[in-house]
């Protein structure tokens, strides 16, 4: 196992492997951890790439990527050009697996620089691949989850405003024309989409995404 620091060093060591890989599996909480895998030119700034070049590309994300219009656009475009994209509300081990021969694990951020562990030991790789495959099987296809999230996305600004106001759930539910149980379920679903463990954290995460 080799540890590298920062995307520049990671790119220098592994860019050629991404170019030659035929099977790429990626798990990420957002689009920042694996900037190395993103096209240098966004689709808004020129013609999108035509397909995946025959590669098998699987991308597994948390729901929060679909709440921000910019990241949602990138994720949907990846699916449009041939990547298989799925969404899971579960915690992820942020990982890239190349041709089942090498895995890159995202580590902690220290002084603004993230570390990455590059693993090639077959015994360790097998465990990493098993974790990814289990998460992949339990995830929803992008189109399915996107449709499921649509109502939450529409209600998100109103729910977040009500949470910030500090009003009771009963009052918030009535103001939205929802039953109390339905309102609380939508709040829980929104918190999951935002990757938040508390209502306060949900508000903070929403501000980061520009939802409020």
* Interval 18-37: pLDDT, tens: 888 999 999 998 777 776 55
pLDDT of residue 153: 75
pLDDT of residue 163: 86
pLDDT grade for 39, boundaries at 50, 70 and 90: very low
CB atoms within 10 A of CB 28: 20
pTM of the model: 0.74
- Largest pairwise CA distance in the chain: 57
Tens digits of per-residue pLDDT, 87-120?
Answer: 998 888 899 999 999 999 998 888 888 889 999 9
Q: Tell which CATH architecture fits domain 145-209.
A: Orthogonal Bundle (1.10)
Is it the case that residue 211 has pLDDT exceeding 80? Answer: no
pLDDT of residue 51: 61
- CB neighbour class for 172 (10 Å; exposed up to 12, middle 13-18, buried from 19): buried
Tens digits of per-residue pLDDT, 46-66?
Answer: 444 456 668 899 999 988 888
- Per the document, the length of the chain is 212
Q: Which token pair is 163? A: 């949470």
Please say whether the beta carbons of 172 and 158 come within 8 A: no
pLDDT of residue 151: 75
CATH number of the 2-138 domain: 3.30.870.10
What is the location of CATH 3.30.870.10 in the chain? 2-138
At residue 99, the 3 state secondary structure works out as: coil
What rounded mean pLDDT belongs to the chain? Answer: 83
What is the location of CATH 1.10.10 in the chain? 145-209
Strand order in the sheet with 113-119: 2-5, 113-119, 102-110, 95-98, 23-28, 56-61, 84-87, 140-141
Radius of gyration of the chain (CA): 19
């Amino acid at each position: 196992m080799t540890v590298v620091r920062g995307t520049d060093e990671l790119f220098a060591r592994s860019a050629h492997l991404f170019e030659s890989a035929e099977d790429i599996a990626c798990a990420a909480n957002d689009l920042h951890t694996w900037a190395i895998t993103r096209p240098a030119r966004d689709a808004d700034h020129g013609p999108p790439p035509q397909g995946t070049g025959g590669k098998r590309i699987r991308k597994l994300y948390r729901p929060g990527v679909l709440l921000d219009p910019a990241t949602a656009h990138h994720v949907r475009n990846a699916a449009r050009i041939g990547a298989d994209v799925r969404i899971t509300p579960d915690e992820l081990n942020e990982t890239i697996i190349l041709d089942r021969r090498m895995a890159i694990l995202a580590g902690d951020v220290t002084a603004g620089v993230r570390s990455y562990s590059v693993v090639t030991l077959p015994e360790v790789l097998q465990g990493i691949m098993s974790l990814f495959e289990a998460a992949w099987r339990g995830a929803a296809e992008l189109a399915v989850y996107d449709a499921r999230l649509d109502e939450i996305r529409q209600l998100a600004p109103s729910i977040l405003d009500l949470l910030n106001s500090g009003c009771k759930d009963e009052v918030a539910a009535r103001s939205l024309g929802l039953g109390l149980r339905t309102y609380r379920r939508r709040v829980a679903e929104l918190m999951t989409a935002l990757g938040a463990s508390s209502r306060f954290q949900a508000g903070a995460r929403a501000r980061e995404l520009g939802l409020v």
